[in-house]
């Protein structure tokens, strides 16, 4: 490696200082070998950003932050990233010649400068999340440390995940379909925590596509689907349920009460998360834990959720502000004695980045994992990672490699790239 630790020491003058001792091989060689084994490209103070590139695949933004020393950082943003190529380029130009070793500063500079440019939520924050994550990846690589170490160290070695069964891809699954999906995820992959969705536009008992009140038939259908799962898997499996914010207060109240005997781990967003106060009454009227947060941005939004009685917070670290902001949200929730269970619909790059945060906070509970990671070959093709960090028995082990510990296979990504959008240039 031309830009090695040896060249750094030579630059610093240490090599010159050792030169007169060169004939005494047994004296100088151990130090030289130890120095060579250190993964340092040059003095960290000399590290500068030279370019920011990006690519888009199936609702995900991938950024690559390049430097003058050949090392690079990777980050991912999700959902609110459509049409953001020029925003990435604009922010990338502002980052050129800066040191990437100050993720908090870069985050604050970019966020504050967009006070009138969307810096509170949405696309801007989703792009910022990807860039901020790439800074942590770069910093870890520069100092030869995993990201979790930079975030203060870990409380646990592995992260418990729940499997989103993706049964929503079926137009209108029956209770039997629910039960089979549950037992299948347990038998095939040994998960002990599962997630199902209850919102189905194709429900024949849905009376009005615009009204958000579920009919009695819909309520019965929801209960029957979940009851079939609980009967199939028994009482010890965590059962997480999502309604995607597609119902109203009346429906939320009804379903939360009806499913109480099923002992759900949580009922996720039975109503949209925009009206924080509406959650308070729902949470007070049921024993079913109420979760929310995948479409909430920054710590400010989560403080309002927490002030209004949400039982579980679910920030998506690929769009809520990134890894530093994700840790701040978790620590804020911890002050309310509320579990931190991140939403996660990214690739393995985003999943591992999220895992680095999860191991650093005491109130981590569960992290989302997608069943299509196991069934769609794309998700293995587009990344390079250590198989030891793949999910096993409902856990993923956090990577010990410098940075996030997952690389992108950009050549493999090309066949999945969004058409007519520049790709890593």
| Residue boundaries of the structural domains of the chain | 5-38, 49-144, 150-414
Which pLDDT value is given to residue 28?
43
Q: What are the pLDDT digits (tens) for 86-107?
A: 999 999 999 999 999 999 999 9
Which pLDDT value is given to residue 202?
87
Range in 1-5, 132-136, 314-318, 339-343 the model is least confident about: 1-5
Residues 286-294, mean pLDDT to the nearest whole number: 97
Which pLDDT value is given to residue 19?
38
Q: Would the pLDDT of 36 be above 70?
A: no
pLDDT band, residue 425 (cuts 50/70/90): confident
Q: What are the pLDDT digits (tens) for 65-90?
A: 999 999 999 999 999 999 999 999 99
Q: Would the pLDDT of 326 be above 60?
A: yes
Cα–Cα distance, 397 to 301 (Å, whole number): 30
Q: Would the pLDDT of 111 be above 50?
A: yes
Range in 1-5, 272-276, 291-295, 329-333 the model is least confident about: 1-5
Which pLDDT value is given to residue 42?
56
Q: Is 0.85 topped by the overall pTM?
A: yes
Q: Would the pLDDT of 34 be above 60?
A: no
pLDDT band, residue 29 (cuts 50/70/90): low
Which pLDDT value is given to residue 3?
40
Which pLDDT value is given to residue 78?
98
Task: Write down the CATH superfamily of domain 150-414.
Answer: Enolase-like C-terminal domain (3.20.20.120)
Q: Would the pLDDT of 4 be above 60?
A: no
Q: Would the pLDDT of 266 be above 70?
A: yes
pLDDT > 70 fraction of the chain, expressed in percent and rounded: 90
Q: Would the pLDDT of 11 be above 80?
A: no
Q: Would the pLDDT of 296 be above 70?
A: yes
Mean residue pLDDT of the chain comes to 91
Strands 290-292 and 72-78: unpaired
Which pLDDT value is given to residue 110?
96
CATH number for domain 49-144, candidates 3.30.390.10, 3.40.50.620, 3.90.1300.10, 3.20.20.150 = 3.30.390.10
């Amino acid at each position: 490696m031309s830009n090695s630790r040896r060249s750094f020491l030579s630059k610093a003058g240490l090599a010159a200082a050792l030169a007169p001792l060169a004939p005494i091989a047994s004296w100088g060689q151990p130090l030289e070998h130890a120095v060579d084994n250190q993964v340092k490209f040059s003095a960290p103070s000399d590290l500068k950003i030279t370019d920011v590139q990006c690519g888009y695949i199936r609702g995900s933004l991938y950024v690559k932050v390049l430097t003058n020393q050949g090392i690079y950082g990777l980050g991912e943003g999700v959902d609110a990233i459509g049409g953001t190529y020029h925003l990435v380029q604009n922010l990338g130009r502002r980052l050129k010649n800066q040191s990437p070793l100050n993720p908090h500063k870069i985050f604050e500079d970019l966020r504050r400068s967009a006070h009138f440019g969307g810096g509170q939520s949405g696309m801007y924050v989703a792009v910022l999340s990807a860039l901020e994550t790439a800074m942590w990846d770069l910093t870890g690589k520069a100092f030869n440390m995993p990201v979790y170490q930079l975030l203060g160290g870990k409380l646990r070695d592995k992260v418990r995940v729940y499997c989103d069964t993706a049964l929503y891809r079926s137009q209108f699954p029956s209770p039997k379909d629910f039960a089979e999906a549950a037992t299948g995820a347990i038998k095939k992959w040994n998960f002990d925590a599962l997630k199902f969705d209850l919102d189905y536009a194709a429900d024949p008992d849905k009376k009005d596509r615009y009204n958000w009140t579920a009919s009695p038939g819909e309520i019965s259908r929801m209960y029957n689907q979940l009851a079939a799962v609980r009967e199939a898997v028994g009482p010890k499996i965590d059962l997480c349920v999502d309604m995607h914010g597609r119902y109203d207060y009346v429906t939320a109240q009804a379903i939360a009460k009806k499913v109480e005997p099923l002992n759900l781990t949580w009922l996720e967003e039975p109503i949209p998360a925009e009206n924080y106060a509406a959650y308070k009454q729902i949470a007070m009227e049921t024993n079913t834990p109420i979760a929310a947060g995948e479409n909430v941005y920054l710590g400010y939004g989560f403080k309002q959720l927490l002030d209004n009685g949400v039982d579980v917070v679910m920030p998506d670290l690929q769009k809520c502000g990134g890894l530093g902001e994700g840790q701040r949200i978790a620590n804020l929730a911890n002050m309310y004695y509320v579990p931190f269970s991140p939403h996660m619909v990214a690739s393995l790059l985003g999943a591992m980045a999220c895992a680095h945060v999860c191991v650093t906070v005491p109130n981590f509970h569960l992290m989302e994992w997608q069943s299509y990671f196991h069934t769609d070959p794309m998700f293995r093709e587009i990344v390079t990672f250590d198989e030891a960090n793949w999910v096993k028995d409902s856990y993923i082990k956090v990577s010990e490699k410098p940075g996030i510990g997952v690389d992108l296979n950009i050549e493999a990504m090309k066949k999945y790239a969004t058409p007519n959008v520049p790709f890593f240039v």
